[in-house]
Chains A and B, each alone.
Chain A
Amino acid sequence: MLFKKNKRINLNGMDCLLMAFDYHMRKNGFAGNLAQMVLGLPIQIRESEFADRISSLMDQFPIIHAVSKRHFFSRLPCWEINPEQPSAFPRITAYHLEEKTEENPEFKTLRKKLFNLPLQPGKGEQIRFDLVYFNKGGMEIYMTWVHALMDAHGAEYFLSMIGNPDLVKEALISESSRMAASGRVNSGSDNHPKPKTGSADDKWKKAKQSFDHIDEIALNPPVSILSKFPEKAKPLQEYTIISFSQEETKIILDLARKRCGFFNESTYFAASTMRELKQLYQKKGVASNNYVLSLPVNLRKKGTHLPVFSNQSTSLLYSFSSESLEDFDSAVRHFKEQTQRVIKTGLLDANVAVMEISKFLPTWFYIRKVRQAMKGEIASIVMANPGTMYSRLSEFIGTKVDYVRHMPAIIAPPGIGVLFYQFAGRLNITFVYTEGILSPEETNGFQLGIRTHLLNGK
């Protein structure tokens, strides 16, 4: 089996950063830096059948029940695998509910519980499955994982592998060829591809460029939405999902093309989100002259969802003055200018370099560096657009999938996150927030606002 010879697998830079945020969130009482996906099926798959599939994947990819540790001398984080020792993870738990409606309080309570239930990566719990059966028919499969293990694209592929075993071979080939290419098959070293960051000296120069960019943004920091009501925030996260019909999605994508140019839907989403965020601040009476958006960028080469067990992304920070969000065109222009600058000045590479060196920094040091620079805030809001979901997710164990949702935990602060993604020709938005910082009216208003911006292009 692929990983059986390896006792330890190193994390890449982004995995390390996400693990640092996991530590930070746990320290503040949250469940951790977790991510979750849910698959809605019209039929019910037996728990034993599902468990068999997971069991076979555990043999092929024991990383899913590896123990999060640190190397003894270097203190670098790693996953440790002991193939001889039986593992109690991943856990699979079944729940039985009457029906799946927003009005069913039992369902709402369970959803919230599953979203805030911590994992135990230190004991080998990197991933968990919850099967929710509905007496009136159908089921939902919840997959919750430690974000350091994989990103949204990797998770989409992994979930597809459970339902479509023919995909396993491709993932195994991909993982083993990368390991063979690095010549480290038996050493237990880093199994992740290295970003092109040049010599060590070059890496530090690039990392400095990235830190300088953070410092520049920190000159005009965002005001925390928590600043007025710090006592109301609780270490729990909530989410709501907006789902557009296929017709609405087409309207939105056409408008995005008209207003922002071909292939610029992220710009359109960002402008809509930031305009509404400003409205939200104003309604709450929190005055901020600047707003900072954190946007993850997929670093995978295009045309693949592999590698699975790795975070292949980096986060870019965008700064918007209050005036730049006065009208839609201005917000679009500011986003585009900053994106162009990122590519032209090599800031994307610089961020990758930071991730690489961050492996060698103690967790607390990096968190402190970022938070000091941002005067207590990392950003006002997190937004992501992983795009269209992996096509093989449309079928699961021979059944057509009704819907798939992404529910990532949002690093708090900022405590507000908006995730855009498409499945079966429909645009979905998951809105995640820390409990207590928004009232139900504000939550509804924010969602309605984004919806209106998207459907009207202003």
Chain B
Amino acid sequence: MVQIEQIKEQLIFFLHNEIFDPSIQINADTDLLESGFDSFSLVKLLVFIEKQYSLQVPEDKLTEDTLRNVNRLSEMIYAFQEK
């Protein structure tokens, strides 16, 4: 099981390299929605989560709250791993 701190690091690395412009500073608290995250970013993120953690996140778990920042996303992924 991947630890929550490691999930955070991996997500920040992915978002920084694959999704956001280099001018956007991404840390665990950055508001992703305010920073320009869009629907295609979401599909890419879900595919990343599926490949990296072998997890399929149910649609109803994707909300404004769980996608707010890396902290919330990591908590969601970590909780799913435990199940």
Q: Residues of A with Cβ closer than 8 Å to B? A: 261-267, 297-298, 300-304, 306, 339-340, 343-344, 387
Contacts and interface: CB of A to CB of B under 8 A. Distances in A.
Contact of B35 (A261, A300, A303, A306): A303
A297 B41 CA distance: 11
Nearest to B64: A262
B42 A263 contact: yes
Contacts of B47: 340, 343-344
B47 to A, nearest CB: 5
Nearest to B19: A302
Contacts of A303: 20-21, 23-24, 35-36
Given A301-B21, A304-B21, A339-B43, 9 more contacts: A261-B59, A262-B62, A262-B64, A263-B37, A298-B40, A301-B24, A304-B23, A340-B43, A343-B40
A210 to B, nearest CB: 17
25 contacts: A261-B60, A262-B42, A262-B62, A262-B67, A263-B37, A263-B39, A263-B42, A263-B67, A264-B39, A297-B40, A298-B38, A298-B40, A300-B21, A301-B19, A301-B20, A302-B19, A302-B20, A302-B35, A302-B36, A303-B24, A303-B35, A303-B36, A304-B23, A306-B21, A339-B43
Contacts of B67: 262-263
Contacts of B35: 302-303
B43 A302 contact: no
Contacts of B60: 261
B23 A302 contact: no
A123 B72 CA distance: 54
Nearest to B35: A303
Interface residues on B, range: 20 to 34
A265 B38 CA distance: 10
A297 B42 CA distance: 13
Interface of B: 19-24, 35-44, 47, 59-60, 62-64, 67
User: Interface majority SS on A: helix, strand, loop or mixed?
Assistant: mixed
Given A262-B62, A262-B64, A263-B62, A302 B37 contact: yes
Contacts of B37: 263, 302
A265 B35 CA distance: 18
In the A-B complex, the 3 residue pairs with the smallest Cβ-Cβ separation, listed nearest first, are A302-B36, A301-B21, A303-B36
Contacts of A302: 19-21, 24, 35-38, 41
Nearest to B26: A303
Contacts of B36: 302-304
Nearest to A260: B59
Given A339-B43, A340-B43, A343-B44, A263 B38 contact: yes
A264 B42 CA distance: 9
Contacts of A263: 37-39, 42, 62, 67
B21 A343 contact: no
A150 to B, nearest CB: 17
A343 B43 contact: yes
Nearest to B61: A262
A306 B22 CA distance: 12
A169 to B, nearest CB: 14
Contacts of B42: 262-263
Contacts of B40: 297-298, 343
A101 B44 CA distance: 44
